[in-house]
């Protein structure tokens, strides 16, 4: 299936150039310069990736990403202005984006990064759908077809990375080690470190768990993490 990419960027010339290079790889590419229009387009079209500037004319990438996850877990990649911004905001960007690239960049590097992102997303989506279309644990439900997560009647808004991690855990009947999770969720990112798994487990627990109740994600001491009944 052809991948659909939305570019949300302040610099029209750069966005046009990136769009042309991505289209050479047979990706379908749309463009907007504002966060407001990006949200409207995201409601109308199921984009496989949204490539956005760190700061848009009408909102920050963080604010746009927060609105996008209300629609569905969205794969976001950020274009950062310089290495100083990356050093300052890199950790924050990784909360809502699966990857970022620093300007100026070599266009082939950006295209390769996009291709790697799609390989990782496809691996998780197809593996989950081959096994089953839905999974449930306690009152938590995940729809692999539509990539939605609910706790009882409540929709839980997750970033695409958080969704990938949850889908991997819920799709397994065994305890998964940090190394296994790193391989399955961060499969094509050589720079990822083992402790990133613990960081994202904490993010997930912050969104899923309720005060006074047992965490949905069990820590199996000395092994890793699991979502299963004893």
Same domain for 24 and 103: yes
pLDDT at position 172 is 85
Q: Give the residue from 61, 90, 117 where a domain finishes.
A: 117
pLDDT at position 30 is 97
Same domain for 156 and 111: no
Same domain for 191 and 110: no
Same domain for 102 and 149: no
pLDDT in tens, the chain (230 residues): 799 999 999 899 999 999 999 999 999 999 999 999 999 999 999 999 999 999 999 999 999 999 999 988 889 999 998 888 788 888 889 889 988 999 999 999 999 999 988 887 777 777 666 656 778 899 999 988 888 899 999 999 999 899 999 999 998 889 999 999 998 888 766 566 778 899 999 999 999 999 999 999 999 998 999 997 65
Answer yes or no: is 145 within a domain.
yes
Residue 10 in contact with residue 57, Cβ under 8 Å?
A: yes
Domain range for 218? 132-226
- Give per-residue pLDDT as tens, 133-161: 778 899 999 988 888 899 999 999 999 89
Same domain for 156 and 202: yes
State the total domains in the chain: 2
Q: Give the residue from 87, 117, 147 where a domain finishes.
A: 117
Residue 226 in contact with residue 218, Cβ under 8 Å?
A: yes
> Of 17, 49, 15, 20, which is closest to residue 34 (Cα–Cα)?
15
Same domain for 142 and 103: no
Same domain for 106 and 139: no
Give the list of residues 6+ apart from residue 24 with CB closer than 8 angstroms, or none: none
3 state DSSP class of 60: strand
Answer yes or no: is 122 within a domain.
no
pLDDT at position 94 is 87
3 state DSSP class of 181: helix
Answer yes or no: is 124 within a domain.
no
pLDDT at position 124 is 73
Where residue 161 sits, what CATH number does that domain have? 1.10.10.10
pLDDT at position 132 is 64
pLDDT at position 121 is 76
What pTM value is reported for the model?
0.81
């Amino acid at each position: 299936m052809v991948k659909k990419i939305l570019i949300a960027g302040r610099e029209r010339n750069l966005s046009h150039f990136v769009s042309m290079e991505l289209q050479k790889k047979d990706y379908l590419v749309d463009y907007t310069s504002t966060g407001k229009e990006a949200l409207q387009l995201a409601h109308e079209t199921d984009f496989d990736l949204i490539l956005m500037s760190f700061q848009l004319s009408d909102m920050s990438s963080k604010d746009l990403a927060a609105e996008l996850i209300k629609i569905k877990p969205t794969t976001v990649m950020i274009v950062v202005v310089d290495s100083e911004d990356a050093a300052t905001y890199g950790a924050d960007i990784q909360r809502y984006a699966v990857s970022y690239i620093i300007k100026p960049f070599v266009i082939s590097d950006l295209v390769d990064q996009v291709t790697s992102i799609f390989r990782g997303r496809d691996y998780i989506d197809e593996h989950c759908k081959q096994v089953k279309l839905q999974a449930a644990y306690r009152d938590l439900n995940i729809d692999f077809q539509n990539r939605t997560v609910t706790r009882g009647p409540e929709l839980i808004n997750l970033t695409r990375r958080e969704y990938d991690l949850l889908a991997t855990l819920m799709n397994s009947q065994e305890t998964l080690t940090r190394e296994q999770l790193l391989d399955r969720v961060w499969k094509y990112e050589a720079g990822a470190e083992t402790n990133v798994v613990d960081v994202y487990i904490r993010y997930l627990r912050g969104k899923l768990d309720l005060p006074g109740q047992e965490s949905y994600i069990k820590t199996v001491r000395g092994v890793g993490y699991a979502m299963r009944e004893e």
